[in-house]
A and B are shown apart, each in its own frame.
Chain A
Amino acid sequence: MKGTNLGEFQELVLLTIGTLYPNAYGVGIKDEIRETTSRKVTLSTVHAALNRLEKKGLITSSFGEATKIRGGKRKRFFTITAYGLKTLQETRQQREQLWNAIPEQVFNVNWQV
């Protein structure tokens, strides 16, 4: 299935949602990604990713209280679902397996040459 494989950016967004819990929302996620990865992401890319994740069922969202900033609009807070968490862990395991499978010599090669 499509959902079992996370894209790189989607994984990033998913992880960020986790770190920002329980206050992960659009602009917040974007800022966080920018800070940690110093990548230039735009709001629309983040939104698109959030939308896909939600469609896949990896995250859910709920509206918060309306505040005076944001033109009186409510924030939509995202949280990782159990399925999302499982997918994250699977991805991590896959990575770890691959990490562990790398022979020791690779690390000892003097790349400086």
Chain B
Amino acid sequence: MKNKSVHPPKWANRLLEWYCKPELFEDLQGDLYEYFERNLEAKGSRRARFNYVMDVLKFFKPYTVRKLEILGQLTQFIMFKNYFKTSIRSIGRNKLFSAINVFGLAISMSVCLLMITMFSEVKNYDRFHADHDRIHRVTNAQKYLNNEPNLFASTSILAGRRLKEEVPGLEAATIITRSFSADAKIGDNTFPFNAPWADNDFFKVFSFNLLRGDATAALSEPYSVILTDETAEKFFPGQDPMDQTILMNEQSYRVTGVVEKPPFNSHFKFSALISFSTYEQQQKQTEEDWWLNWHNMWSNYAYFKLDKNTTIDQVQARLTSIADDENSRQGQTKIFLSTQALTNIMSGPDLSNQLGESIGNEALWILGVLAFIVILSAGFNYTNLSIARSLRRAKEVGVRKVVGASKKQVFTQFTIEACIISVCSLILAYLLFFLLKPLFLNLSPEMQRSLKLEHEPIMLLYFLLFAIVVGISAGFIPSLFLSRLRAIQVLKDASTTRLFSKINLRKVLIVVQFTLSLAFIISASIANRQFKYALNFDLGFDTENVLNISLAGNDPYLTKAVFEQIPEITDISMSSHVLSTGNRYANQAKSEDGLDSATVYLSQIDHKYIPLMGHELLAGTNFVAKDRVEKEETVIVNETILNKFKLGTPEEAIGKVLKFGPTNSLIVQGVVKNFHYATLDSEIESFAFRHQPQNAQMLNLKIMSENIIDTRRKIEEAWLEFDEVHEFRGSFYDDRIEAAYSEFEVMFTVVGFLAFITITISALGLLGMGVYTAETRLKEISIRKVLGASEGSLIRLLSRGFMWLLLIASLIAIPSTYYLFDSVLLSDQAHRADIGVMELILGVMVIFVIGFTTIGSQTWKAAKSNPAQTLRSE
């Protein structure tokens, strides 16, 4: 038995197993095996194996081969027509149920279509760049002591330079700095001009389409400008823009290239580019080196493209060591470098100081989850109603089974029915989608800037696929349930009710549905409350009737003189930016001895600003009016800065010195009460008013007028007379603040809308269940009525079960939503409204009213019916 280990060829065995009827297989294989072993001894392994294979082939005879299964599938296929027909008939027969299903699914699907389009659009952002998967950017995390780090999309020029010089394995790296702004003079015309500075490697990293000019040199010389085709057409209509001269700030710039306008799905867009060497030259002339400081990380961006053989981890390791090197020379605020993939910018984490648009993964996640919940709710409706209705279809299943339908076939039938419903809904949903799209995009200007929600034809296929998936999932449980029915039981029992009495699933689904609806209502009202809270929050200064006007590069004093003519304007002040609306500017400040340093947020104002805005001075005095050339000597600070630099009480702080930058030692002239210069999600930190009216970008007009709108028009007319180039950009302070908190408003609108949808869907489902219950228990009700039950007691009897479910739903929803908002969603808000009992109760009230109306109306109808009518036909 030395050949014991030799076996027949495996593939032959597999072949045998494949074609042979299972009942013959064992014996056949056994015989072949025995024969094989005998051959093995007599003729050797090769011969034995050959014989085995031959025998396997010889056995391939009609009586051994199993019946073709294609035949079975063919029947399924033939039956499709039948399934289709019966489905259509049953949909037509149950008009109410079908309408509820189609309508509910359509509404929720339209929301999902919106999300699918949005996701695919966001995913396609920045993919037009060649090798987009190798392009990354450097991001910064600024960390003060052990506080939570602040994350920025921007970085320092220093980091960008060290990246270019010291990190190996990069194909190219480019530094971009925003943002140059000036008036462009071309001949006699003047245009407002905004552009980022970009260095010469810009086109090595990005594949924006350079139409004219040399990609390798267009941005190398100082005072070079690349225009987009759109800008070029505006600046030089009908002329060749190349080598033309543009005069900006008394400097002439040369046009060295024309680039195609960045496509819509580029995360950052520009109308022109200026060579970075221009910026370098200008900064060198100032003889200050703040621009190369490690902490000057507010408006610079570094993008790089990896070599094919370099991994991002290798670059990250080098960046980490560069950051460690720089941080070792820094004080308490450290900056860490990390990277972000280009394709991840649009959908990535929320970073401050974005170069362009970013929706952020948080918003995407929230929207995705909400859409899923909505479709889930509609799916539950279908499941619920189908199971309830299956009572009627049990007989059909019974007959089908008797005639020879298999479980699988019945399952297929009902799945197809679900798919038909969902595809019908899709058509309706697609129409709703177009209705919904503009509403959604109009929610906020950012959405309009970054989303189009246009879909390519291929998306229609995705939609269809989505509808079928929805159909299969929604129809899964009812199909499974119906296919499991036993023919004999179904056909024998006249009342099949018993079969269905044990199904608790329906109740569970209703509870889940209403829990979600409740959660939505509560969320919407909490978001609304937070929004109102933020608007009415006492910021620490007075914003009423203040109109902020952007100077657009005009001289503040000249502009001020224009507006002083208008009698309704009682006072005018100047400032660098509008506080409390999200914009922040900061600089490093040091104590007099240079030992303490901290980031201090700044606003540059004139002497009129503080009284106009109604800031309360705790100590010291306001700035004194000064000429524009007079040197800046004093500063007004907030309370927090006193603690940071250990300046003592406000009174003690007056007269002490703070150093801003290398040259400015400023004496504290006044201390203002803490106020909210940023949005409410951040705490109040160190803040200082600098007395630099010459740097003003805004005028703040205090208006006293009966007719505000009329006055605003007057102001606008005055502006247009004064400056023909720039459009008038002025808005009331309160409106600006409202815009700053628009995320809450957007959230309120979205959640409110989804709440409305889920409630509608749930109510529809409840209505369906009510109809079903009333129908099936009609006889019972009639008998009870004959025996003397009152209508009131009948309604109570019928609706009690549902009310219990609603009660359970609210018991689950209230604490979980409360927890969600209290500990997760609002936890990063420094100042927030308390979640009131009213919000919680209100939601429950709404749900109960809706629930009671839908159920009550049905049971009332049943209870009112004449027992003689219903009992007669037995």
Q: Which residues of A contact B (CB under 8 A)?
A: 25-27, 42-44, 47-48, 51-52, 61, 63, 69-71, 73-76
Complex Cα distance, B26 from A39, in Å, reads: 27
Q: Can you spell out 25 A-B residue pairs with CB atoms less than 8 angstroms apart?
A: A25-B31, A26-B30, A42-B55, A43-B31, A43-B32, A43-B55, A44-B58, A44-B59, A47-B28, A47-B31, A48-B61, A48-B63, A51-B24, A52-B63, A63-B27, A70-B34, A70-B37, A71-B29, A71-B30, A71-B33, A73-B26, A73-B30, A73-B33, A74-B27, A74-B30
Q: Find chain B residues with CB under 8 A from A69 CB.
A: 33-34, 37
B59 touching A47 by the CB < 8 A rule?
A: yes
Complex Cα distance, B328 from A70, in Å, reads: 78
CB B25 to nearest CB in A, in angstroms, measures: 9
User: 9 closest pairs, A vs B, by CB?
Assistant: A73-B30, A76-B27, A26-B31, A71-B33, A70-B30, A44-B58, A70-B34, A70-B33, A51-B63
Known A-B contacts A70-B34, A73-B33; the reply to A26 vs B27 at CB < 8 A is yes
The chain A residue with its CB closest to the CB of B61 is A48
CB A4 to nearest CB in B, in angstroms, measures: 21
Complex Cα distance, B35 from A2, in Å, reads: 32
Q: Which of B18-72 contact A (CB under 8 A)?
A: 24, 26-35, 37, 55, 58-59, 61, 63-64
The chain A residue with its CB closest to the CB of B36 is A71
Q: Find chain B residues with CB under 8 A from A52 CB.
A: 63
Known A-B contacts A71-B29, A76-B27; the reply to A27 vs B59 at CB < 8 A is no
Q: Find chain A residues with CB under 8 A from B26 CB.
A: 63, 73-74, 76
Most chain A CB inside 10 Å of its own CB: which residue of B26, B34, B63: B34
Q: Find chain B residues with CB under 8 A from A76 CB.
A: 26-27, 30
Known A-B contacts A44-B55, A44-B58, A51-B63; the reply to A27 vs B35 at CB < 8 A is yes
CB A98 to nearest CB in B, in angstroms, measures: 32
CB A58 to nearest CB in B, in angstroms, measures: 15
Q: Find chain B residues with CB under 8 A from A74 CB.
A: 26-27, 30
Q: Find chain A residues with CB under 8 A from B32 CB.
A: 43
Q: Find chain A residues with CB under 8 A from B63 CB.
A: 48, 51-52
Most chain B CB inside 10 Å of its own CB: which residue of A26, A52, A73: A73
B side interface size, CB within 8 A? 18
The chain B residue with its CB closest to the CB of A55 is B63
Complex Cα distance, B33 from A42, in Å, reads: 14
The chain A residue with its CB closest to the CB of B56 is A44
Q: Find chain B residues with CB under 8 A from A47 CB.
A: 28, 31, 59, 64
Q: Which residues of B contact A (CB under 8 A)?
A: 24, 26-35, 37, 55, 58-59, 61, 63-64
Q: Find chain A residues with CB under 8 A from B29 CB.
A: 71, 73
A70 touching B61 by the CB < 8 A rule?
A: no
The chain B residue with its CB closest to the CB of A50 is B27
Complex Cα distance, B31 from A76, in Å, reads: 9
B61 touching A27 by the CB < 8 A rule?
A: no
CB A43 to nearest CB in B, in angstroms, measures: 6
A44 touching B33 by the CB < 8 A rule?
A: no
Complex Cα distance, B27 from A46, in Å, reads: 13
Q: Find chain B residues with CB under 8 A from A27 CB.
A: 31, 34-35
Q: Find chain B residues with CB under 8 A from A43 CB.
A: 31-32, 35, 55, 58-59
Q: Find chain B residues with CB under 8 A from A70 CB.
A: 30-31, 33-34, 37
Complex Cα distance, B853 from A95, in Å, reads: 93
Q: Find chain A residues with CB under 8 A from B37 CB.
A: 69-70
The chain A residue with its CB closest to the CB of B60 is A44
CB A66 to nearest CB in B, in angstroms, measures: 9
Q: Find chain A residues with CB under 8 A from B64 CB.
A: 47, 51
The chain B residue with its CB closest to the CB of A67 is B30
CB B160 to nearest CB in A, in angstroms, measures: 72
The chain A residue with its CB closest to the CB of B26 is A73
Complex Cα distance, B63 from A44, in Å, reads: 11
CB A108 to nearest CB in B, in angstroms, measures: 47
Complex Cα distance, B35 from A70, in Å, reads: 8
CB A68 to nearest CB in B, in angstroms, measures: 11
Complex Cα distance, B784 from A25, in Å, reads: 73
CB B54 to nearest CB in A, in angstroms, measures: 9
Q: Find chain B residues with CB under 8 A from A63 CB.
A: 26-27
The chain B residue with its CB closest to the CB of A52 is B63
The chain A residue with its CB closest to the CB of B38 is A27
CB A24 to nearest CB in B, in angstroms, measures: 12
B27 touching A73 by the CB < 8 A rule?
A: yes
CB A28 to nearest CB in B, in angstroms, measures: 9
Most chain A CB inside 10 Å of its own CB: which residue of B26, B30, B33, B34: B30
CB B589 to nearest CB in A, in angstroms, measures: 87
Complex Cα distance, B28 from A67, in Å, reads: 15
CB A91 to nearest CB in B, in angstroms, measures: 23
CB A10 to nearest CB in B, in angstroms, measures: 14
Q: Find chain A residues with CB under 8 A from B35 CB.
A: 27, 43
CB A61 to nearest CB in B, in angstroms, measures: 8
- Checking B24, B30, B59 against A75 with a beta-carbon cut-off of 8 angstroms, the contacting residue is B30
CB B493 to nearest CB in A, in angstroms, measures: 41
B61 touching A44 by the CB < 8 A rule?
A: yes
Complex Cα distance, B55 from A74, in Å, reads: 19
Complex Cα distance, B37 from A26, in Å, reads: 15
Q: Find chain B residues with CB under 8 A from A51 CB.
A: 24, 63-64
Q: Find chain B residues with CB under 8 A from A44 CB.
A: 55, 58-59, 61
CB B32 to nearest CB in A, in angstroms, measures: 7
Complex Cα distance, B63 from A48, in Å, reads: 8
A75 touching B27 by the CB < 8 A rule?
A: yes
Q: Find chain B residues with CB under 8 A from A61 CB.
A: 27
Complex Cα distance, B35 from A52, in Å, reads: 22
Most chain B CB inside 10 Å of its own CB: which residue of A61, A70, A75: A70
CB B790 to nearest CB in A, in angstroms, measures: 71
- Checking A26, A42, A75 against B58 with a beta-carbon cut-off of 8 angstroms, the contacting residue is A42
Q: Find chain B residues with CB under 8 A from A42 CB.
A: 55, 58
Complex Cα distance, B32 from A75, in Å, reads: 11
CB A31 to nearest CB in B, in angstroms, measures: 9
CB B715 to nearest CB in A, in angstroms, measures: 98
